[in-house]
A = this chain, B = another copy of it.
Amino acid sequence: MEGILLECENNNLKLTGYDLDLGITKTIQVETVEPGAIVLNARLFSDILRKMPDEQITITSDQKLLTRIEGIDTEFNILGMSRDEYPDMPAVDDSQGFTAPDYLLKNMINQTLFAISVNDQTPVLTGSLFDLNSGKMSVVSVDGYRVALRKENIASDTDVSFVVPGKTLAEITKLLSDQEEAMTRVSVGSRHIIFEINGYTVISRLLEGEYLDYKSAIPEGHTTRIVADTRTVVQSIERTSIIINDRNKSPVKLVTEGSTINLTCESTIGKVSDRFEATVEGDPIRIAFNNKYMIDALKHTECDQIYIDINGPLSPIKIIPTEGDDFLFLVLPVRLKNEN
User: Once the chains are docked, how many angstroms separate the CA of A238 from the CA of B269?
Assistant: 48
A257 interface hit (Cβ, 8 Å): no
A1 interface hit (Cβ, 8 Å): no
Q: For residue A238, which residues in chain B have a CB less than 8 angstroms away from its CB?
A: 51
Flag if B78 contacts A239 (CB, 8 Å). Answer: no
Q: For residue A73, which residues in chain B have a CB less than 8 angstroms away from its CB?
A: 274-276
Known: A73-B274, A276-B73. A44 touches B269 (CB 8 A): yes
**Interface footprint category on A:** 20 to 34
User: Once the chains are docked, how many angstroms separate the CA of A26 from the CA of B243?
Assistant: 26
Flag if A48 contacts B242 (CB, 8 Å). Answer: yes
Other-chain contact of A242, B44, B79, B239, B274 (Cβ < 8 Å): B44
A135 interface hit (Cβ, 8 Å): no
A47 interface hit (Cβ, 8 Å): yes
> Chain B's nearest CB lies how many Å from the CB of A231?
11
User: Once the chains are docked, how many angstroms separate the CA of A48 from the CA of B271?
Assistant: 12
Flag if A270 contacts B239 (CB, 8 Å). Answer: no
Name the residue of chain B whose CB is nearest to the CB of A266: B77
Flag if B276 contacts A51 (CB, 8 Å). Answer: no
Flag if B235 contacts A74 (CB, 8 Å). Answer: no
Q: For residue A269, which residues in chain B have a CB less than 8 angstroms away from its CB?
A: 41, 44, 78
A76 interface hit (Cβ, 8 Å): yes
A75 interface hit (Cβ, 8 Å): yes
Instruction: Beyond the given A74-B275, A78-B270, please list 20 additional residue pairs across the A-B interface where CB-CB is below 8 A.
Output: A44-B242, A44-B243, A44-B269, A44-B270, A51-B235, A52-B239, A53-B235, A73-B274, A73-B275, A74-B273, A74-B274, A75-B272, A75-B274, A76-B243, A76-B271, A76-B272, A77-B270, A77-B271, A77-B272, A79-B270
